[in-house]
Amino acid sequence: MTYLCNDPTQFAEELIDGYVAAYRDTIVRVDGGVIRRQKTRSGQVALVIGGGSGHFPAFGGFVGSGLAHGAAMGNVFASPSAQQICSVALAVEAGGGILFSYGNYAGDVMNFNQAQERLRSMGIQVQSVVVTDDVASASAAERYKRRGIAGTLPVFKAAALAADSGKSLDEVYRLATAANERVRTLGVAFSGCTLPGAPEPLFEVTSGKMEVGMGIHGEPGLYRKDAPSADSLAEMLVTALLAEIPEVIGKPEHARIGVILNSLGTVKQEELFVLYRKIDQLLVLHGLTIVEPLVGEFVTSFDMAGVSLTLFWLDNELEPSWIAAVNSPGLRKGNVSAGTSLDDNSIGVVKIIVQSEMSKGSVASQAVAEIVFEALTAACHSIDEQQETLGYLDAIAGDGDHGIGMQRGLKAAIDVASQALEAKAGAGTLLKVAGDAWSDKAGGTSGALWGTILRCIGDKLGDEMTPGAVVVAEGVASALDGITELGRAQLGDKTLVDVLHPFSTALARAASRELSVADAWSEATDIAGEAAQATRHLSPRIGRARPHADKSIGNPDPGAVSMALIISAVNKTIAARCYK
């Protein structure tokens, strides 16, 4: 459990404050995360990494000389928002372009992709390497679906050395990609982890058992078995990883490898050494040469009792990056020459403004904006009431933070929407600025998706008219198109699309019969509720729940449930206001 916590919703912000205070000689805080204290050299590629908090030293701890130039730091177990990522990237960009690198999780992919497109629209070159080292999360034939866990560190180091050596963006991308192709990881856990403020862990493991193949966000493993002795565990991990030697390796019996034995939180260093003793013996027996192994905490999952083993298959290009000197809070080795330090007085705060201006709307649209604000408030109350249930559903095959993330996003949306009302903004502007705030403060998958939903509907409603049912239906259809393009989810994948798609269809059908907005929305609401419950029969095909499909079947998708809850809350607001 988390023993030291104030307000759980402020945990990530407070930990970053303390982290920067403890390492102010190495890092500097900017909006959205942290950057190196040393300036990026003019014309150099900048490496920007990122992910949710709760994994220290990943990801902020990997910022420093010899590693990343900056890290976007999201809320606990939630990806940073596109706004946060852009802010960090602009703080370190020096004319040579940006390389993004991060673990393969739906929310990270969505938000980093959005940030990449925004930066490209500013004329900045950006490429991305998504780390896929977790052998348990997909088959070898579908490596692109695998999660990124402790193998992110070798990829980051490869990219960092290439960037600091003055290589071009294409070369930095090539070497980071090569590192990702040569890294494999498998993890086990003896307990779940507990989010700050939560009364119990995301999953529990019976004494004497262990989970095999869990992720780093509190997801349970793929299967459970008796916990072995340290030597037997070493044999299991080594055997599994040697069964998947990268195809690019010529003669594996003569290969040189980097090794990471990583504690996921509460397995102590002494225990790791007992385990590593046998791992070393087994790898040497296979004829492998171990190069500068790392044993300790590198990518954690709060207080999870577990370990992971990573093998990094080296070659003449990649070995120098593995042994290169590093000076970061999370990893220090060798001597790094000091660069030019940033002056605290000249750093400033870098923030990307993506919110629409608070342009004044027509009197008619201002009236609609008031109803939209009331609908957002009602939606927030509905999510507040069901926050624990949403968290429970999410914890079955995910990380358990869906309810908290929805609360965080809605409250941010309401705060900004209130300012829009005071500025006499129209309904379209109110929805768009609310969507930007939701995306920025919530981060993660839900933040990216709901930010897109509100912006798309806002674009259709505009700031001049009183929209009828047809326009509202067009807005919802646009939102559906926006999130399917962003997240690539389709009907039947067990996501919120399984609610929004039938709801949109029913709303359009009702609007075509010239029903009022209130009547059309009401008619479609019943279908949304039924669709959310129907997801209990589906098997997840994308996202964090995909590796745990058997655990998910029989329970509705949390994103689908929260979508239905919000649709229902909006329905009650519209009915009460008699909006025709």
Helix, strand and coil content of the chain, in percent to the nearest 5, comes to 50, 15, 35
The amino acid occupying position 419 is Q
- Asked whether 91 and 27 are in contact (CB, 8 A), the reply is no
Q: Which residue matches tokens 């912000």? A: 13
Closest-CA residue to 133 (of 97, 163, 105):
105
Distance from chain centroid for Cα 282: 35
Tell me which of 69, 217, 501, 548 is the catalytic residue: 217
Whether 537 is catalytic is: no
Q: Prior bond to 467 cis, omega within 30?
A: no
Q: Is 269 helix (H, G, I), strand (E, B) or coil?
A: helix
Closest-CA residue to 475 (of 440, 521, 513, 515):
521
Q: What distance in Å separates the CA atoms of residue 290 and residue 129, rounded to the nearest whole number?
A: 26
Q: What distance in Å separates the CA atoms of residue 89 and residue 95, rounded to the nearest whole number?
A: 11
Q: What distance in Å separates the CA atoms of residue 63 and residue 61, rounded to the nearest whole number?
A: 6
Q: What distance in Å separates the CA atoms of residue 164 and residue 283, rounded to the nearest whole number?
A: 32
Q: Is 64 helix (H, G, I), strand (E, B) or coil?
A: coil
Phi, then psi, of 185 in degrees rounded to 5: -140, 145
The amino acid occupying position 382 is S
Closest-CA residue to 161 (of 151, 148, 171):
171
- Asked whether 141 and 111 are in contact (CB, 8 A), the reply is no
Angle at CA of residue 468, ends 466 and 472, nearest 5°: 100
Q: What distance in Å separates the CA atoms of residue 153 and residue 74, rounded to the nearest whole number?
A: 18
Count how many Cα atoms sit within 13 Å of the Cα of residue 381 in the half-sphere of its side chain.
Answer: 11
Q: What distance in Å separates the CA atoms of residue 189 and residue 419, rounded to the nearest whole number?
A: 46
Strands 33-36 and 70-76: antiparallel
Q: Give Cβ neighbours of residue 251 (< 8 Å, ≥ 6 apart).
A: none
Distance from chain centroid for Cα 512: 39
Which value, to the nearest 10 degrees, does the dihedral of the CA atoms of residues 485, 489, 491, 493 take? 180
Q: Is 212 helix (H, G, I), strand (E, B) or coil?
A: strand
- Asked whether 307 and 293 are in contact (CB, 8 A), the reply is no
> Could you write out the DSSP letters of every residue in 241-265?
HHTT--TT-S-GGG-EEEEEEEE-B
Task: Write the DSSP symbol of residue 350.
Answer: -
- Asked whether 217 and 204 are in contact (CB, 8 A), the reply is no
Q: What distance in Å separates the CA atoms of residue 514 and residue 523, rounded to the nearest whole number?
A: 13
Q: Which residue matches tokens 């004329």? A: 123
Phi, then psi, of 9 in degrees rounded to 5: -70, -20
Count how many Cα atoms sit within 13 Å of the Cα of residue 232 in the half-sphere of its side chain.
Answer: 6
Q: Provide the annotated active-site residues.
A: 217
